[in-house]
Amino acid sequence: CRIVVLISGSGSNLQAFIDTLHGRQANIVAVISNRDDAFGLERAARAGIPTAVLSHRAFADRASYDQALAALIDTHAPDLVILAGFMRILTAEFAHHYQGRLLNIHPSLLPKYPGLHTHQRALQAGDHEHGATVHFVTEELDGGPPILQSHVPVLSDDTPESLAERVRHTEHRLYPLAAMLYANGRLRLLDGRACLDGAP
């Protein structure tokens, strides 16, 4: 399974892919960032994975950036495209082009808290549990069919940072697991739903 990973920042999820999947069930054939200062680029380079930077600043609008991004991704002929902290809203055209082979991880128990500041919002709501969701990407922001979720408790003395760290720790197991299921043919998007092992 050929994987292209898109990042904008630290790339701790990318690191989890490198440590658990890369060169085994799957090959990360390229890491692409929209920012040249993303630390994840260094993680990729250290693992010997080709990197590319495509800055959105050079493009007039979202549509032209997404077209160029898709063209770049497709030179690597991926089976699966992984959004790992890629901080851009994608056009519907982009989502359609990769329908069924584009995954994202979001730091909340979707459908709760799409968008930003999820940890702060969970704390403010007084939630007792929080977590992360891996989902297929559709044109709806953080709205595509969920695949797997991790759950963590919210503790009484949590700050957004402590809660974020607890959630991120689970992401590093959850996200490679979803990709592994995909690579092994056990996960597909079927009729708009995530289908695991043939079970809807």
Active site residues: 106
Residue of 105, 154, 183, 194 interacting with ligand GRF (CB under 6 A): 105
Stretch near ligand GRF under the rule CB under 6 A, chosen from 9-17, 74-82, 145-153, 179-187 = 9-17
Nearer to ligand GRF, 66 or 171 (CB): 171
Write out the binding residues for ligand GRF, residues 32-91 only, by CB under 6 A: 84-85
| DSSP tag of 145 | P
Handedness of CA 149, 34, 72, 39 (dihedral sign): negative
Query: Which helix (DSSP H) or strand (DSSP E) does residue 158 occupy?
Result: none
Nearer to ligand GRF, 78 or 85 (CB): 85
What lies within 8 Å, CB to CB, of 188 at 6+ separation is: 100, 182, 194, 195
Instruction: Tell me if 90 is assigned to a ligand binding site.
Output: yes
Residue of 106, 119, 130, 135 interacting with ligand GRF (CB under 6 A): 106
User: Rounded to an integer, what distance in angstroms lies between the CA atom of residue 137 and that of residue 173?
Assistant: 19
Write out the binding residues for ligand GRF, residues 110-169 only, by CB under 6 A: 132, 168
The reply to whether 176 sits near ligand GRF by the rule CB under 6 A is no
For residues 54-70, one letter each, b for 16 or more C-beta atoms within 10 angstroms of the residue's C-beta and e for the rest, the string is bebeeeeeeeebbbebb
Peptide bond preceding 111: is omega within 30 degrees of 0, i.e. cis? yes
User: Rounded to an integer, what distance in angstroms lies between the CA atom of residue 122 and that of residue 164?
Assistant: 11
Nearer to ligand GRF, 61 or 151 (CB): 151
Stretch near ligand GRF under the rule CB under 6 A, chosen from 99-107, 123-131, 149-157, 189-197 = 99-107
Q: Which residue is nearest to ligand GRF (CB)?
A: 85
| DSSP tag of 175 | H
User: Rounded to an integer, what distance in angstroms lies between the CA atom of residue 110 and that of residue 133?
Assistant: 6
* C-beta separation of 22 from 46 below 8 A: no
Q: How many residues bind ligand GRF (CB under 6 A)?
A: 13
Binding residues for ligand GRF, per CB under 6 A? 9-13, 84-85, 105-107, 132, 168, 171
Question: Which residue positions form the known binding site?
Answer: 11-13, 62, 87-90, 104
